[in-house]
Copies of this chain bind each other. A is one copy, B any other.
Amino acid sequence: MAGFQAPALARLIDEFNKLPGIGTKTAQRLAYYVLSMPNDDAESLAKAITDAHRSIHKCRKCCNLTDDEFCPICKSKNRDKSIVCVVEDPKDVAAFEKTQEYSAMYHVLHGVISPLRGMGPNDISIKELIDHVREDNVQEVIMATNATAEGEATAVYISRLLKPLGVKVTRLAYGIPVGGDLEYADEVTLARALEGRCEL
């Protein structure tokens, strides 16, 4: 393939192809699209990549990504500092913020404990979580790791470390997704939904 393509184009396709979920076809489409963009737009895309990469790092308290010492949520005065929601990934913070139902703090683990992928407790920000809980005198930690085997194991591991500190540790509810059809719910979800049933 590469022989008839300009090297700069082939390299751009190759770079896009390295991104997650971008196959050869999509990489090609994106590359040709970039070439068709006005010069300023292409420069601004390239600049956004380098800028974001240079300026963004972890918040000193909650480990979410930020361009400052502390992230906007940790700096905010309108947030309840006594509750911390522990998530695997910065994307999960965005998901919770979209609900507009949560106005306390977060802590981002940046992964889960996964022996298969060589991730131990020291590879995710558990130490920072304990510091966070101690410093802010947190009353409740909501474990909101993913509902996978690794996510659950990580939640159990962390809850064992937190309980001696006298903090209440809770877990997100399991159940049928809203709008979901019972027919298509898997048996484990259904069993959990039954288990967690509540009075109307």
Partner-B contacts on A (CB < 8 A): 1, 3-9, 11-12, 14-16, 18-22, 26, 28-35, 37, 39, 41-53, 55-56, 65-68, 71-73, 89-91, 93-94, 97-98
Q: Are A49 and B26 within 8 A (Cβ)?
A: no
Q: Are B56 and A9 within 8 A (Cβ)?
A: yes
Q: For the complex, what is the distance from the CA of A4 to the CA of B68, rounded to whole Å?
A: 12
Identify A68's interface contact among B6, B33, B90, CB under 8 A.
B6
Q: Are A6 and B53 within 8 A (Cβ)?
A: no
Q: Are A66 and B29 within 8 A (Cβ)?
A: no
Q: Are B71 and A29 within 8 A (Cβ)?
A: no
Identify A9's interface contact among B3, B50, B65, CB under 8 A.
B65
Q: For the complex, what is the distance from the CA of A9 to the CA of B59, rounded to whole Å?
A: 14
The interface residues of chain B lying within 8 Å CB-to-CB of A47 are 46
Q: Are A32 and B90 within 8 A (Cβ)?
A: yes
With contact pairs A35-B53, A35-B56, A65-B9 given, residues A15 and B1 touching in the complex (Cβ less than 8 Å): no
The interface residues of chain B lying within 8 Å CB-to-CB of A14 are 48
With contact pairs A5-B94, A19-B33 given, residues A11 and B51 touching in the complex (Cβ less than 8 Å): yes
Q: For the complex, what is the distance from the CA of A30 to the CA of B30, rounded to whole Å?
A: 13
Q: For the complex, what is the distance from the CA of A49 to the CA of B9, rounded to whole Å?
A: 9
Q: Are A48 and B91 within 8 A (Cβ)?
A: no
Q: Are A67 and B32 within 8 A (Cβ)?
A: no
Given contacts A4-B73, A8-B67, A34-B53, 6 further A-B contacts (CB under 8 A): A4-B71, A6-B55, A20-B30, A32-B91, A43-B50, A46-B49
Q: For the complex, what is the distance from the CA of A73 to the CA of B2, rounded to whole Å?
A: 12
Q: Are B28 and A91 within 8 A (Cβ)?
A: yes
**Contacts A/B (CB < 8 Å), 29 sampled:** A4-B94, A4-B97, A5-B94, A6-B56, A6-B71, A8-B51, A8-B52, A8-B55, A9-B56, A11-B48, A11-B51, A12-B49, A15-B44, A15-B48, A18-B41, A19-B33, A19-B34, A31-B52, A32-B89, A32-B91, A34-B52, A35-B52, A35-B56, A35-B65, A37-B53, A42-B49, A42-B53, A43-B50, A46-B47
